[in-house]
Structure 1
């Protein structure tokens, strides 16, 4: 899905998306890619 994005940038994008309360579908897409890569999902916050 996002193969060119390095892991750390993906995690940063996810944290920023949560902090900025971006679209839920976008956050879900990032979270799905994090899980697909078997990375640890940063703290999740419901908004």
Structure 2
């Protein structure tokens, strides 16, 4: 889905999207990719 992003950049983008309260669908897309890569989903306290 998002193969050009490194794992670290993907996680940073996810945290930033939560912090900035971006569109829920965009946040869901990032979270789906994080899970697809079997990474730990960061805490969602901003969601």
TM-score range, shorter chain: over 0.9
- The TM-score, its normalising length taken from structure 1, stands at 0.94
| Gap regions ≥5 residues in structure 1 | none
Q: Which has the higher contact order (CA 8 A, sep 6+)?
A: 2
RMSD of aligned C-alpha atoms?
Answer: 1.1
Structure 1 segments, 4+ long, off by >4 Å, are: none
| Gap regions ≥5 residues in structure 2 | none
Matched pairs, number: 47
